[in-house]
Amino acid sequence: MWVEKLARLGYTAKGIVYAIVGVLAVQAAIGAGGQTTDQKGALRAIAAQPFGKFLLALVGLGLIGYVIWRFVEAIQDPEHKGDKTKDWARRLGSAISGIIYASLAFSAIRLAMGSSANNSSSHATQDWTARLMSQPFGEWLVGFVGALIIGLGFYQFYKAYKAKFRKHLKLQEMSPTEETWATHLGRFGETARGVVFVIIGFFLLEAARQSDPNQAQGLDGALQSLAQQPYGPWLLGIVALGLVAYGIHMGVQARYRRIMT
Residue 228 CB coordination number (10 Å): 10
Block means of pLDDT (10 residues each) for the chain, 261 residues, are 86 94 92 81 86 89 92 75 67 86 88 71 82 88 94 94 91 94 96 96 94 89 90 93 96 90 64
Q: What pLDDT was estimated at residue 80?
A: 55
Q: What is the predicted pLDDT for the residue at 81? A: 58
Quote the number of domains for the chain.
1
pLDDT given at position 33: 76
261 domain residue, yes or no: no
For residue 213, is it within any domain? yes
Please name the residues in contact with 143: beta carbons below 8 A apart, sequence gap of 6 or more: 204, 205, 208, 209
Kindly state whether residue 128 falls inside one of the protein's structural domains. Answer: yes
Give me the domain span that covers residue 192: 2-256
- Taking residue 2's Cβ as centre, other Cβ atoms within 10 Å add up to 9
Residue type, 158: Y
Whole-prediction pTM value? 0.89
Amino acid at the residue 32: A
- Tell me what pLDDT residue 204 has: 94
d(CA 212, CA 204): 9
27 within some domain: yes
Whether 230 is covered by a domain: the verdict is yes
| DSSP code string of 92-147 | HHHHHHHHHHHHHHHHHHHHHTTPPP---HHHHHHHHHHHHHTSTTHHHHHHHHHH
pLDDT of residue 86: 67
Dihedral of CA atoms 145, 26, 98, 65 in degrees, nearest 10, equals 180
Q: Does residue 16 fall inside a structural domain?
A: yes
pLDDT of residue 196: 95
- Report yes or no: 226 and 232 within 8 Å, Cβ to Cβ: yes
Identify the pLDDT of residue 183.
96
Asked if 233 contacts 30 with a C-beta cutoff of 8 angstroms, the reply is yes
